[in-house]
């Protein structure tokens, strides 16, 4: 459905204030005092226009775990968070390791219509780490999969990881690795350090992440293939990635909003909402992650939105599921952690939350600059909105396991447009 809009007085990526004219799914004009007879007019005073956000790491749970999330509820949450495209991870039931399953997820996304859904294919059959999945068939499917990950599990076998990197090179695919050496994290519950020792929880060493990242960077260099490192969480990981990039290797990386803001001492009360994989780390790690995102060592912010039903979280720590929701709070957290601290400007946010993830995820039609003739997928954000406490009960996600519950975060997503169609207006879904 074609919509015509005239957005008046908006700042593009924190720059000059202009009008935006939208017609036929594209920006018809970007400039001063534009005219668009018959168009709906939106007052953009005080708002920042960003290219529609792209998430490389979203768990939509469907098929199989519709009690936690569905493609429809997850993409509604994404649109409310300013996202116009998300990558749906493969750990569904059944696992997205065949052309049939990834096409099902892709079609569900098209039916929902809130944002584009790009399925992520599993690297190995059933995430078992023993045999490569049907990578070529998923790439050739209607879903056109280009990102593959066993996220939730590490592709620990170095030979299998090498073969996967070699295989996807043929169609410009990327392997997104969950960096966790399994032998070093057996029974691990919380970041290895003072807090874990005090609470009597088994430690999760930083070296378990860093060892896999170092190995895989070497494999990426050897094969000439594209490696993407999921949810980087330690200072040492940032240094390894910085080193690999200095060599010109095809390595990219992401950081989650929660790893930019939250520390392991939040686990002091054994509140399982703070249990996540990789675990929350220390203040020194947060500082290194923020610096890495600011200087481009870490390419992008990815939510790792991981919804869970109440019973999976409200139990003893060791039995609780790992994961946090994040789609509806990500941009607000990035404002608090990166913009309000002076580490990124809004053009930098557009780069780290739209342009780079779109490029890494091979998502056509997203991440492009806001310019005449470009696809009108954008987010209108109010950075001056008074901080409001996060209320998971008001979120569109079916699950409420937000670590930011009750925390006052700045900003508000005012509107989201997907190829010229308004999906969110005044902070509410429009359909």
DSSP 177-198: E----GGG-TT--EETTHHHHH
Q: Which DSSP category does 203 fall into?
A: E
Q: Which DSSP category does 411 fall into?
A: -
List of residues 6+ apart from 379 with CB closer than 8 A: 49, 50, 51, 52, 53, 82, 83, 84, 331, 413, 415, 416, 417
E-strand ranges in 297-403 read 300-301, 378-382, 388-389
Neighbours of 200 (CB within 10 A): 9
Task: Count CA atoms within 13 Å of residue 91 on its CB side.
Answer: 18
The strand pairing partners of 177, in sequence order, are 229
Q: What is the CA radius of gyration of the chain?
A: 21
Token look-up 């001056």 returns: 384
Token look-up 């459905």 returns: 1
Helix (H) or strand (E) holding 110: helix 99-112
**Total H helices, total E strands in the chain:** 12, 21
Read off the tokens for 355. 């342009």
Token look-up 């997907």 returns: 418
Helix (H) or strand (E) holding 246: helix 235-246
Token look-up 């990327």 returns: 174
Return the active site residues: 304
List of residues 6+ apart from 135 with CB closer than 8 A: 121, 123, 148, 164, 167, 168, 173
């Amino acid at each position: 459905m074609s919509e015509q809009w005239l957005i008046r007085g908006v700042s593009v990526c924190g720059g000059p204030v202009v009008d935006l004219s939208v017609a036929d799914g594209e920006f018809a004009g970007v400039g001063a005092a534009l005219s668009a007879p018959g168009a709906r007019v939106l007052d953009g005073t005080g708002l920042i226009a960003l290219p529609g956000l792209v998430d490389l790491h979203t768990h939509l749970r469907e098929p199989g775990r519709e009690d936690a999330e569905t493609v429809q509820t997850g993409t509604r949450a994404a649109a409310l968070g300013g996202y116009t495209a998300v990558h749906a991870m493969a750990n569904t039931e059944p696992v997205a390791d065949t052309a049939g399953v990834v096409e099902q997820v892709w079609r569900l996304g098209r039916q929902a219509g809130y944002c584009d859904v790009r399925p992520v294919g599993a690297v190995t059959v059933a995430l078992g780490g023993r045999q490569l999945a049907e990578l070529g068939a998923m790439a050739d499917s209607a879903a056109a999969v280009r990102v593959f990950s066993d996220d939730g599990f590490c592709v620990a076998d170095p030979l299998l990881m090498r073969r996967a990197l070699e295989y996807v090179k043929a169609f410009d695919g990327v392997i997104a690795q969950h960096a966790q050496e399994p032998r070093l994290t057996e029974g691990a519950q919380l970041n290895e350090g003072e807090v874990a020792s005090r609470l009597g929880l088994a430690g999760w060493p930083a070296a378990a992440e860093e060892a896999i990242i170092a190995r895989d960077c070497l494999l990426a260099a050897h094969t000439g293939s594209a490696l993407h490192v999921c949810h980087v969480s330690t200072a040492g990981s940032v240094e390894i990635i910085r080193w690999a990039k200095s060599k010109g290797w095809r390595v990219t990386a992401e950081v989650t909003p929660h790893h930019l803001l939250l520390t392991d001492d939040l686990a002091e009360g054994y509140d399982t909402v703070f249990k996540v994989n990789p675990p929350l780390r220390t203040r020194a790690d947060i500082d290194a992650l923020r610096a890495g995102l600011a200087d481009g060592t870490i390419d992008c912010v990815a939510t790792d939105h991981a919804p869970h039903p109440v019973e999976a979280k409200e139990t003893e720590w060791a039995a609780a599921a790992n994961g946090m929701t994040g789609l509806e709070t990500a941009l607000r957290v990035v404002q608090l952690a990166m913009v309000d601290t002076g580490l990124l400007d809004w053009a930098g946010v557009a780069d780290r939350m739209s342009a780079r993830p779109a490029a890494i995820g091979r998502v056509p039609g997203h991440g492009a600059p806001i310019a005449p003739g470009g696809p009108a997928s954008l987010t209108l954000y109010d950075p001056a909105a008074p901080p409001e406490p996060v209320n998971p009960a008001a979120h569109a996600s079916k699950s409420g396991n937000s670590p930011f519950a009750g925390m006052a975060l700045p900003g508000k997503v005012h509107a989201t447009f997907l190829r010229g169609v308004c999906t969110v207006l005044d902070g509410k879904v429009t359909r």
